[in-house]
């Protein structure tokens, strides 16, 4: 089953009279359970592509299907619902709420989706155990290392049981050992839960864990290697 399907996506940005074509007719399918890296140099289009998949942006032309829905036909509120219910995000700078504990950060998507206190508690503790942070549940982000913060972010992204996790440069602000741990955790969660992971990166440490590598250059896919499994 395809979780992501992109057909001839073109994305043009305009600043005054200047146009920049970030994507030039990209087509791509990503199946359920894949662990895929989007790679390429700065300006290749990988972050733009990730934003289209995440319903954070829309193509100038072409179509984007997520979990069987054509998201290019959705309005802003419907795209927000799609993000909340079907897509989890892991960011380069962690994006945790600084005044909340690790437990509360992971719990936040479940609160927004209306889960009961017992459901929230069970799910949060399950995920903190999966990322080996049960003993840090009551710590705020400023009491955690960078690697621990990213592991909290991974748990938060998985909390609402999305079909798809998107990670933008997930190891960029981590040292070698923490980057390795984060990638191993993501790979294990992919295997254990079957959720699809797509990450944009130029980091060789990340690329080596990918089961499929999609390489972009100048807004086009130039290589598509691996079976995603």
- Asked if residue 8 belongs to a domain, the reply is no
Instruction: For residue 131, give the 3-state DSSP assignment.
Output: coil
Tokens of 193: 């839960």
pLDDT band at 172 (very low <50, low <70, confident <90, very high): confident
Q: Is residue 187 part of a domain?
A: yes
Task: Count the Cβ atoms, other than its own, within 10 Å of residue 98.
Answer: 9
- For residues 206 and 89, give the distance between their C-alpha atoms in angstroms, rounded to a whole number: 17
Structural domain boundaries enclosing 214: 32-60+74-226
Task: Report the number of distinct structural domains present in the chain.
Answer: 1
Looking at residue 229, its pLDDT comes to 53
Check whether 227 has a pLDDT greater than 70.
Answer: no
pTM over 0.85? The answer is yes
| CATH code, domain carrying 150 | 3.40.50.300
pLDDT, tens digit, for every residue of 191-218? 999 999 999 988 887 899 999 999 999 9
What is the band of 17 on the pLDDT scale with cuts at 50, 70, 90?
Answer: confident
Q: Is residue 66 part of a domain?
A: no
Indicate whether 24 belongs to any domain: no
The answer as to whether 160 is a domain residue is yes
pLDDT digits (tens, 9 = 90+) for 123-143: 999 999 999 999 999 999 999
């Amino acid at each position: 089953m395809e979780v992501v399907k992109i057909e001839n996506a073109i994305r043009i940005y305009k600043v005054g009279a200047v146009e920049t074509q970030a994507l030039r007719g990209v087509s791509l399918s990503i199946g359920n359970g894949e662990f895929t890296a989007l790679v390429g140099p700065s300006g290749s289009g990988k972050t733009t592509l990730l934003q289209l998949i995440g319903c954070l942006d829309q193509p100038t032309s072409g179509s984007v299907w997520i979990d069987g829905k054509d998201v290019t036909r959705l309005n802003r509120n419907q795209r927000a619902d799609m993000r909340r219910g079907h897509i989890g995000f892991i960011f380069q700078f962690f994006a945790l709420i600084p005044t909340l504990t690790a437990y509360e950060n992971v719990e936040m998507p479940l609160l927004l989706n209306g889960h009961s206190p017992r459901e929230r508690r069970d799910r949060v503790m399950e995920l903190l155990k999966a990322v080996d942070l049960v003993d840090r549940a009551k710590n705020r982000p400023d009491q955690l290392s960078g690697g621990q913060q990213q592991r909290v972010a991974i748990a938060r992204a998985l909390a609402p049981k999305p079909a798809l996790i998107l990670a933008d440069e997930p190891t960029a602000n981590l040292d070698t050992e923490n980057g390795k741990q984060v990638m191993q955790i993501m790979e294990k969660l992919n295997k254990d839960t079957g959720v699809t992971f797509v990450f944009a990166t130029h980091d060789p440490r990340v690329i080596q864990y990918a089961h499929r590598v999609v390489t972009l250059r100048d807004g086009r896919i130039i290589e598509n290697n691996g079976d995603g499994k």
